[in-house]
Amino acid sequence: MKTVDVNKIKELLPHRYPFLLIDRVIDYELDKELTALKNVTANEPFFEGHFPAQPVMPGVLIVEAMAQAGGILSSLTLNQSFGEGGVYYFVGIDKARFKRPVVPGDQLIIKTVLSRKLRNIWKFKAVATVDDEVCCTADIMCTYKEG
């Protein structure tokens, strides 16, 4: 198993608290797939408003975590760090489906599989689970931009 800790993730992505949504990469294979995790705690700032009486992680943030996992895989594959002249942008989503809520105390596991790469466009099939139960699936697209 190849792992990546949060300090290395910060070298690969421009995101920082409260928008860095990957805590650790628990396994990856370059140019193929990556599995990451997000520990969802009651202290997440989004729970203050979504929803105070019954906190649920917003679906758009689950999808963003999937996109961040794709960005990490792309950066690892190309051996690039954030700040080396460019950044990965989340540019598209297809077939997003939400199957179960993600709540405080859950550990979100995100598996991202590279399905297609064409120049600077990377497409991924992503699945997010909690306790081996699927909570979200989506096709994600990212692009690398210089500058």
Q: What is the DSSP letter of 97?
A: E
Quick one: CA dihedral 57, 60, 66, 70, positive or negative?
Answer: negative
Q: What are phi and psi for residue 62, nearest 5 degrees?
A: -65, -45
Enzyme catalytic residues? 50
Task: Provide the pLDDT confidence category of residue 85 given band limits of 50, 70 and 90.
Answer: low
Give 119: exposed, middle or buried? Use CB within 10 Å, 0-12, 13-18, 19+. Answer: exposed
pLDDT tens-place string over residues 34-56: 999 999 999 999 999 999 999 99
Domain 6-146 has CATH 3.10.129.10: yes
- The answer to whether 120 and 143 have CB atoms below 8 angstroms apart is yes
Mean residue pLDDT of the chain comes to 95
* pLDDT at position 83 over 90: no
**Cα–Cα distance for residue pair 4/106, rounded to 1 Å:** 20
Secondary structure of residue 67 in the 3-state scheme: helix
Q: Tell me the domain boundaries of the chain.
A: 6-146
